[in-house]
Structure 1
Amino acid sequence: MTFILSHQVLDDILQKHRIKSNDLAAIDRLFGGADGYYWYHTLRHMCPRKEVMVWGSQEDMRAAVQGHENETAAEDEVKPQQLKDEHLAAIASHLKLAS
Structure 2
Amino acid sequence: MSEQVRNPRLEIEYCTRCRWLPRATWMAQELLTTFEAELGEVALVPGTGGVFEVRVGGEAVWSRSSDAAFTDAADIKRLVRDRIAPERPLGHSERQP
Higher strand share: 2
Please, what TM-score do these two structures have when normalized by structure 1?
Answer: 0.27
> In terms of Rg, which structure is larger?
2
Q: Whose relative contact order is higher, 1 or 2, with alpha carbons under 8 Å and at least 6 apart?
A: 1
